[in-house]
Amino acid sequence: MIINFQDHLAMPRGYTGRYLEVDLTEEKVRVKDTFELPLRQYLGGKGLALYILYRELKKLERTMTDLDHLDPLGPDNVLVFATGPATGSLFPYSGRYHVMALRSPLTGYIASANSGGDFGPYMKFAGFDMVVVKGAAESPVYLHIHDGKAELMDARHLWGMTTFRATDTILEEVGDGGRTRVATIGPAGENGVLFANIINDKHRAAGRTGVGAIMGSKFLKAIAATGDSKPVEPERPEEFREKVKKYLDVIRKNPVTGEGLRKYGTAILVNIINQHGLYPTRNFQTGVFEKAEEQSGEYMAEKYLIRNRACWGCPTGCGRITKVPKGPFQIGYSEGPEYESIWALGADTGNADLESIIKANHLCDELGLDTISTGSTIAAAMEMVEKGFIPEERLEGVDLRFGNSAAVVEMIWRIAYRSGFGDELAMGSYRLARRYGAEHLSMSVKRLELPAYDPRGAWGHALNYATANRGGCHVTGYMISPEILGIPEKLKPLSTEGKAKWVKDFQDFTSVVNSTVACLFSTFALFADAYADMLAPLTGWDLTPEELMVIGERIYNLERHMMVKLGFRPEEDTLPRRFLEEPMPEGPNKGSTVPLKELLREYYRVRGWENGIPTEEKLKELGIIP
Amino acid sequence: MREKLGIKELQLEVEGTVLDILREMEKIGYPVGDLVLKDGKVKRGFIILVNGKNIVHLEGLSTRVGVADKVAIFPPAGGG
| A461-510: pLDDT as tens digits | 999 999 999 999 999 999 999 999 999 999 999 999 999 999 999 999 99
Task: Say if the Cβ atoms of A260 and B75 lie within 8 Å.
Answer: yes
User: Measured between alpha carbons, how far is A48 from A33 in angstroms, rounded to an integer?
Assistant: 13
Does A600 lie in the same domain as A481?
yes
Pick from A172, A197, A226: which residue ends a domain? A226
Does A468 lie in the same domain as A417?
no
What CATH number is given to the structural domain containing A128?
Answer: 3.60.9.10
User: Measured between alpha carbons, how far is A336 from A342 in angstroms, rounded to an integer?
Assistant: 9
Nearest beta carbon to residue A478 from set B49, B77, B80: B80
Does A82 lie in the same domain as A58?
yes
Q: How many domains does chain A have?
A: 3
**Burial label, A437 (beta-carbon count in 10 A; 0-12, 13-18, 19+):** exposed
Low-confidence stretches of chain A (pLDDT < 50) are 2
Residue pLDDT, tens place only, B5-44: 888 888 888 899 999 999 999 999 999 988 999 999 999 8
Strand partners, B71: B50
Nearest beta carbon to residue A588 from set B43, B45, B52: B52
B2 pLDDT band (50/70/90 cuts)?
Answer: confident
Topology of domain B2-74, CATH: Ubiquitin-like (UB roll) (3.10.20)
Minimal Cα distance from A255: which residue of B?
B76
Does A137 lie in the same domain as A162?
yes
- Output the pLDDT for position B39: 92
Does A426 lie in the same domain as A550?
no
Does A505 lie in the same domain as A403?
no
Give the residue from A289, A103, A287 showing the smallest Cα distance to A213. A103
Determine the distance from the C-alpha atom of residue A191 to the mean position of all C-alpha atoms in its chain, rounded to a whole number.
Answer: 21
User: Measured between alpha carbons, how far is A227 from A588 in angstroms, rounded to an integer?
Assistant: 52
Q: Which of B44, B48, B50 to mutate against chain A (most A CBs within 10 Å)?
A: B44
Nearest beta carbon to residue A255 from set B45, B54, B79: B45
- Output the pLDDT for position A6: 52
Domain ranges within chain B, ordered by starting residue: 2-74
Domain that holds residue A319: 270-449
Give the residue from A483, A474, A472, A477 showing the smallest Cα distance to A592. A483
**What would the DSSP string read from start to end of A146-185?**
ETTEEEEEE-TTTTT--HHHHHHHHHHHH--TT-EEEEE-
Does A433 lie in the same domain as A309?
yes
- In contact, A249 and A199? CB cutoff 8 Å: no
User: Measured between alpha carbons, how far is A472 from A448 in angstroms, rounded to an integer?
Assistant: 5
Please report residues of A whose CB lies closer than 8 A to that of B79: 261, 265-269, 318, 338-339, 521
Please report residues of A whose CB lies closer than 8 A to that of B41: none
Task: Say if the Cβ atoms of A272 and B80 lie within 8 Å.
Answer: no
DSSP class of residue A322?
A: E
**Residue A152 resides in a domain:** yes
Does A347 lie in the same domain as A210?
no
| A126: number of Cβ within 10 Å | 27
User: Measured between alpha carbons, how far is A570 from A577 in angstroms, rounded to an integer?
Assistant: 16
Please report residues of B whose CB lies closer than 8 A to that of A520: 80
Does A473 lie in the same domain as A610?
yes
Alpha helix ranges (H) inside A34-145: 39-42, 45-63, 119-125
What CATH number is given to the structural domain containing A445?
Answer: 1.10.569.10
Smallest Cα distance from A57 to chain B, Å: 31
User: Measured between alpha carbons, how far is A608 from A614 in angstroms, rounded to an integer?
Assistant: 7
**Residue A248 resides in a domain:** no
Does A395 lie in the same domain as A477?
no
**Residue A94 resides in a domain:** yes
Residue pLDDT, tens place only, A419-432: 999 999 999 999 99
Q: Which of A341, A487, A526 to mutate against chain B (most B CBs within 10 Å)?
A: A487
Pick from A167, A194, A226: which residue ends a domain? A226
Instruction: Tell how strand A204-206 and strand A220-226 pair up.
Output: unpaired
- Output the pLDDT for position A10: 67
Pick from A160, A192, A226: which residue ends a domain? A226
Does A281 lie in the same domain as A408?
yes
A485 Rama sector, left if φ>0, alpha if ψ -120 to 50, beta otherwise:
alpha
Does A507 lie in the same domain as A414?
no
Supply angle C-alpha A128, A556, A74, rounded to 5: 60
State the ipTM, two decimals.
Answer: 0.95
Smallest Cα distance from B20 to chain A, Å: 22
User: Measured between alpha carbons, how far is A219 from B20 in angstroms, rounded to an integer?
Assistant: 65
Task: Say if the Cβ atoms of A268 and B79 lie within 8 Å.
Answer: yes
User: Measured between alpha carbons, how far is B27 from B6 in angstroms, rounded to an integer?
Assistant: 15
